Amino acid sequence: MSAPRRLGLADPALLRTDGYIDGSWTASESGRRFDVVNPATGEMIAAVADMGGAETGRAVAAAAAALPAWRALTAKQRSVLLRRWYELMVQNAADLGAIVTAEMGKPLVEGRGEILAGAAYVEWFAEEAKRAYGETIPTHDPAMRLVVIKQPVGVVAAITPWNFPFATIARKAAPALAAGCTVVAKPAEDTPLSALALAELAGRAGLPDGVFNVVAASDPAPVGAELTAHPAVKKISFTGSTEVGKLLMGQAAGTVKKVALELGGNAPLIVFDDADVDAAVAQAIVSKFRNGGQTCVCANRILVQAGVYDEFVDRFCAAAAALNVGPGTDPGTDIGPLINSEALDKVQRLVDAAVAGGATARLGAAVHALGGTFYETTVLTGVTGDMDIAAEEVFGPVASILRFDTDDEAVAAANDTPYGLAAYFFTKDLARAWQVGEALEYGMVAVNSGLLMTELAPFGGVKESGIGREGGREGLEEFLETKYLAMGGLDGAGR
């Protein structure tokens, strides 16, 4: 049985297995392919063209050749094409969601949700393309006029992770294309199929050849080396681990490229004693266990004030125990598998070390009975800030709960990390909301909510969680250069 039929795709052409360079589906020069595997079943979904530095160089050359005509289009012309791309994403959301679930493992409802979230960024930036405003500056000389204009950066390399294989590509490509840049995308080796489906829809939407390219590879190192060294690439936009982000940043320094990095996180979720406990539990469950805990903004540490600690823990454990672990295609599944065996090993290592160090497993703490890379929904209490599980990004369905007494203690514990991506807290006190919100050293802070991502607002972190923002009006600025024009000889002399 063919893979498209096995995935239940209404449109089998969305499952592509070659790279997309200069508007054409392209095999690797070596002829090699690598397997994309369903983490829920271990079955091979597809064998994808395994590309390297040579193919990446060709993709960059295609993007550079397409750049002059693309940036010469009016913002409205680019907007129309991006709008078509968005509409195709929405029309094919069921198939695209099925591809996400197959290659990444998340429940189908989350897979389709990811498609709509990614598409929303394309819709937003289709409109923002028409708002890349410059300005005039009051002159210092009557014979001069001072003008600032915005121009596209140029060729952009977009390197994305496996946990949101569709949305992260869309979140980078949409503003880049809207600004007038061209793109070479390199998806994660575990999940290249979503990016290739996006390329299929880009062609159908009428994006010119070379404007959007996708290079897939089992080994990211040669591709990353080419993208960071190639002089035609003017910006690197990367989402992934802090370790790899630092490596790419160093490599990009050789040609002084612009970089935007959305890196690791260690998000605290703080519950103060005046919080609505029911709401805090419900939102903490969403924040912690969405995508099986495999998100950079999920609650990595849950800090609960002593006055409501016992009540919160009891209710949270009950809610967590009700979550269903299983294949993403099964109705009623809340948590799918971890992405691979390495991820499973990391989660088990952190849980075992925490329990050995004095934490209590109130729920789970072992590989699920389903086997494979499925892990039990886990809640640990008695966790302390010096444990590895409180310091490292867990990336699994494991909730670590810590107790605190004072506001200052909570803020100090929350900030005691090199990361600064997202933070959450729950309180009914308006003064506390402002004070804590301003004191938390994070790029994004949600108050009385466990979700904060939207195309309308800037997404990104501080400290070692990254540089730059995606989404909002700031997202377009990331792909624009500021040029100052000093225009003299305007006194009319000699007329």
Distance CA 321, CA 313 (A): 12
How far apart are alpha carbons 256 and 245 in whole angstroms?
Answer: 15
Q: What is the Cα Rg of the chain in Å?
A: 24
How many other CB atoms are there within 10 angstroms of residue 396's CB atom?
26
Q: Is 50 left (phi over 0), alpha (psi -120 to 50) or beta?
A: beta
Contacts with 326 (C-beta within 8 Å, 6 or more apart), sequence order:
332, 333, 335, 336, 370, 374
CA dist 474 and 116 (Å) reads 21
Q: How far is CA 363 from the centre of its chain?
A: 29
Indicate the SS3 state at residue 470. strand
Closest CA to 316 of 286, 343, 355, 348: 286
Identify each DSSP E strand in 282-365 by its residue range.
299-305, 360-363
Alpha-carbon dihedral sign for residues 157, 160, 166, 171 = negative
The catalytic residue among 296, 376, 455, 478 is 296
Catalytic residue list contains 298: no
Quote the crossing angle between the two packed helices 93-104 and 193-205, to the nearest 10°.
160
Exposure of 289 by Cβ count < 10 A (0-12 exposed, 13-18 middle, 19+ buried)? buried
Tell me which DSSP letter residue 14 carries: G
CA 340 from centroid of its chain's CA atoms: 19
Q: Which of 262, 376, 464, 477 is catalytic?
A: 262
Catalytic residue check, 262: yes
User: What is the 8-class DSSP label of residue 255?
Assistant: G
Check residue 335 and report its DSSP letter: B
Please give the DSSP secondary-structure letter assigned to residue 12.
G
Residue of 163, 179, 181 lying closest to 126 (CA atoms): 179
DSSP category for residue 303: E
Q: Rounded to whole angstroms, how far apart are CA atoms 375 and 363?
A: 12
Contacts with 323 (C-beta within 8 Å, 6 or more apart), sequence order: 285, 289, 334, 335, 377, 397
Compute how many other C-beta atoms are within 10 angstroms of the C-beta atom of residue 195: 27
- The catalytic residue positions are 262, 296
